[in-house]
Copies of this chain bind each other. A is one copy, B any other.
Amino acid sequence: MKNTFGQHLAVTVFGESHGAAIGAVLDGLCPGMPVDEENIRRMLKLRQPGGAISTARQEADLFEIVSGAVDGIATGTPLTILIRNQDIKSGDYEALRTRMRPGHADYPAQCKYHGYQDTRGGGHFSGRITAPLVAAGAICHSALQAKGIFIGTHISRCAGIPDRGFDDLQADIQTLENALFPVLDASASEKMQQAILNAKADGDSVGGVLETAVVGLPAGVGEPWFDSFESMLSHILFSVPAVKGVEFGDGFALADMRGSEANDPLRYCDGAVIATSNHGGGIGGGITSGMPVVFRCAIKPTPSIAKSQKTVDILRKENADLEIKGRHDPAIVHRARIVIDAVTAIAVYDMLAGRFGTDYFAKED
């Protein structure tokens, strides 16, 4: 379905970085569900660049809900979020039409769209499109919270510097909620930001790893084979630009364990079945177990760097050197985390709506 995700809640994104507008359509929301614009603003703000560690491009990200809600309540018909583009300096990018930026979508897009793609500012491939995606996810995020389901993401590693792991999940998710640089260990935060500034000084950029926890999910959500919980979630996670790896539970570390270490023992606890460890990340056989779902995403370093790079000029059909001027981020890992939260909320909403029906998120529950 290309730019549409979800079988029960279908989310469609559209727009280009320097076009008239970007936006998203959410089809399948529960009628009567609140549309919390405050939460949309909160999440959009966490996505925006800020301070020395981000690009200088500033977009107010003023969104308008042009359909699907009346007086802050979802009607159940398609809800459309529209964000007009404002701070456009296309001149910066003009030279990039023919010189393919290494690490960017430029060359693959050229092959797919035969040169008809909008190349200004990355066009449809721009991180700008994550703004409506975050707004869409924010609506789902509020709905999940109303059902006692909470999502939180921190930078578990950046420029090689580790954060501490999740501990008290509820408290940690609370801590992260409004953090512009979402790290659990304050000392790690300082070191990471310094490393980002160092990279910036070098005309370079850094990447990182984001770790996400979802608590409060009921057991029994997901499908055995192709639509496993991991399949659905990784599908949308890998649609986020810069994500190059996804692992659930202990992920790649499981490859080096023995079965006796990796298997999570089960026990009765106050009448409920729990696991006494969570190496599997809350998912077994593609289906949730009721334990927290935990996963990590590898975020590659921002491809736009000031350093000179080797590339090709597809108009002149010759090799060329490229120095990218314009505005860009020495790191996006801290901004990407809210995109991960948002797309996670979308995927989880979709799976719950499929499992329990359209009206699952009605406020009376």
Contact = CB atoms under 8 A, between A and B. Distances in A.
A5 B226 CA distance: 6
A263 to B, nearest CB: 3
A303 to B, nearest CB: 5
Q: How many identical chains are in the complex?
A: 4
Contacts of A236: 226, 231
Nearest to A356: B357
A109 interface: yes
Residue among A235, A288, A307 with the highest chain B CB neighbour number at 10 A: A235
Interface stretch (A40-48, A74-82, A139-147, A167-175): A74-82
Contact of A107 (B14, B103, B289): B289
Interface string A270-308: 010101100011011111111000001011111111010
A232 to B, nearest CB: 7
Residue among A8, A27, A68 with the highest chain B CB neighbour number at 10 A: A27
Contacts of A228: 238-239
B114 A32 contact: yes
Interface string A185-211: 000000000000001001011111100
Contact of A70 (B111, B118, B302, B317): B118
Contacts of A137: none
A304 to B, nearest CB: 8
Nearest to A246: B246
Given A31-B117, A109-B287, A298-B251, A80 B219 contact: no
Contacts of A79: 14
Nearest to A241: B285
A103 B281 CA distance: 11
Contact of A109 (B28, B224, B259, B309): B224
Given A10-B2, A16-B67, A230-B238, A108 B289 contact: yes
